[in-house]
Amino acid sequence: MTAKFKIDDVAKECGLTKRTLRYYEEIGLLSPPERTDGGIRMYTQEHIDRLKRLINARDVLGFSLQELQRYISITEELESHRQGYRQISDDKEKLPKLIQLEPVVKNQLVIIEEKLEKMIEMRDEIQQFLNRVQAAIARMNGENEQ
């Protein structure tokens, strides 16, 4: 039996609030967890893993929650494929889905690579600026010591 987590455990583990967790569930970003008889949410480790990837994409890519829904639905497909359940009868249903999926993933990749390039440019600019600042400080200190 996989260990279960209450909402506050998950919140603390992921650096979110309970409100945010319920909100993400409300807008369909997080799949509703099982409940106890009393109605209390019991999250699994998978929920936590998913949340962390979500937060990562939100912070790093700056995606809106709407965009995250699409992004997650993609990596969801990934998971179901990772499971490795493959029967030939199943494949016939999957092929069109895969063919639909391919350009979407490809596009996702292009977007990230564009951002990556720009980000590297910005890093280099700031790096150079830092170098100049440090050089200026060193130079001025040198003058003072003479």
Partner DNA sequence: GTTACAGTTGACGTTAACGTTAACTTAGGA
Partner DNA sequence: TCCTAAGTTAACGTTAACGTCAACTGTAAC
Q: What is the dihedral of CA 104, 23, 18, 57, to 10 degrees?
A: 20
Instruction: Evaluate whether 53 touches 60 at the Cβ level (below 8 Å).
Output: no
**Binds DNA (CB under 7 A): choice among 40, 98, 109, 111:** 40
d(C-alpha 132, C-alpha 140), whole Å? 12
Q: Site mask, DNA, residues 58-77, x = CB under 7 A?
A: x-----xxx-----------
Q: Which is nearer to a copy of itself, 36 or 107 (CB)?
A: 107
Shortest Å, Cβ 17 to a copy of itself? 19
CA angle 30, 105, 10 (to 5 degrees): 20
Taking the mean position of all CA atoms in its chain, how far away is CA 69?
11
- Binding stretches for a copy of itself (CB under 8 A): 56-57, 59-62, 74-75, 78, 81, 88, 91, 94-95, 98-99, 101-102, 105-106, 108-109, 112-113, 115-116, 118-120, 122-123, 125-127, 129-130, 132-134, 136-137, 140, 143
